[in-house]
Amino acid sequence: MGIKHSSIKKQRTVRMTFSYLLLIFVCVAIIYPLIWTIGASFNPGNSLISTSIFPKNPTVDHYTRLFANEGTLYYQKWYFNSVKISILTMIFSLISVSFTAYAFSRFRFKGRKNGLMLFLLLQMIPQFSALIAIFVLAQMLGLINSHWLLILIYVGGQIPMNTYLMKGYMDSIPLDLDESAKIDGASNTRIFLRIIMPLSRPMLAVVAMNGFTAPLGDFAISSVILRNPEYYTLPIGLYKLVSDKMGASYTTFAAGAILISIPVALVFLALQKHFVSGLTAGGTKG
């Protein structure tokens, strides 16, 4: 009996050790590039060859250059464009995904299963596979350099995946709540706004976070539609910083990349309590 207990304890120790090593590896893989980029943003010069994690002669010149509007550098405009597109994408994604998920979760209609299957297939197809079609459509409609076309593309790309996530969460909300509200005379709209939406706040926070961060990381689609530097988003603008046209300033690129993380951090902090409440509800349900 003692040998068996010792063997189980040994296996548990091995599993815990492996788990901690894996966790440490993941943390290093995530944190090290971030710390290195922060160090590069304070490093003098334009090259990354001599860049170290902790620069010997730190400087804020790269940050001040971003807001100096030197030459063709429109960092402030790019920053505003990216934040504007991200906020509008987040809002429209929340609205569209909430309605589609509620319809698929609570109603039974003709074509429902085919619609879900279509969403699943669309989810498997990357958006950049339609770059040529998007460019031709933008030219035909005269929407080159249009932020609204870009927002519509982002929102449409968010619907399939987020609808599946939201529908799965709404399916876990008991139908008894809907039936009780209908007995009291509540309409479907009232049930949706007063019952389903408040209870779905954790998943709404996930959809909001996805909608906000997706445009900030897109380069392929935005570079096809946006051709004028004044309309660039940060991914395109920062790329130009490391191209030959703007002097290949890699350290300034690092500074610009660090600054765009500020709105992402603010949105995450604003939504954090909903993430935590969702984890707590999932752990205590049942």
Please report the DSSP string for 220-261 in residue order.
HHHHHH--SGGG--HHHHHHHHTSGGGT--HHHHHHHHHHTH
Using alpha carbons, list the distances in angstroms from residue 181 to 100, 170, 188, 192, 258: 21, 16, 9, 11, 48
pTM score, whole prediction = 0.81
- Residue 140 inside a domain? The answer is yes
- Residue 67 inside a domain? The answer is no
What range defines the domain where residue 44 resides? 2-61
The C-alpha atoms of residue 45 and residue 125 are separated, in whole angstroms, by: 42
C-alpha 64 chain-centroid distance: 28
- Residue 52 inside a domain? The answer is yes
Q: What is the pLDDT of residues 103-120, one digit of tens each?
A: 988 888 888 888 888 887
Q: Which of 61, 85, 108 is the last residue of a domain?
A: 61
Residues 82 and 216 in one domain: yes
Residues 96 and 37 in one domain: no
Q: What is the pLDDT of residue 284?
A: 38
- Residue 102 inside a domain? The answer is yes
The C-alpha atoms of residue 99 and residue 198 are separated, in whole angstroms, by: 14
Residue with tokens 């969403």: 119
Q: What is the pLDDT of residues 262-272, one digit of tens each?
A: 898 899 888 88
Please, which residues have CB within 8 angstroms of residue 278's CB and are 6 or more apart in sequence? 201, 202, 203, 205, 206
Total tally of structural domains belonging to the chain: 2
Residues 185 and 261 in one domain: yes
Q: Which of 19, 39, 61 is the last residue of a domain?
A: 61
Q: What is the pLDDT of residues 57-104, one digit of tens each?
A: 778 887 887 777 554 468 888 899 999 999 999 999 999 999 999 998
> Residue 155 is inside which H or E element, if any?
helix 147-171
Q: What is the pLDDT of residue 48?
A: 63
Residues 136 and 80 in one domain: yes
At residue 164, does pLDDT exceed 70?
yes
Asked if 237 and 78 count as a contact pair (C-beta separation under 8 A), the reply is: yes
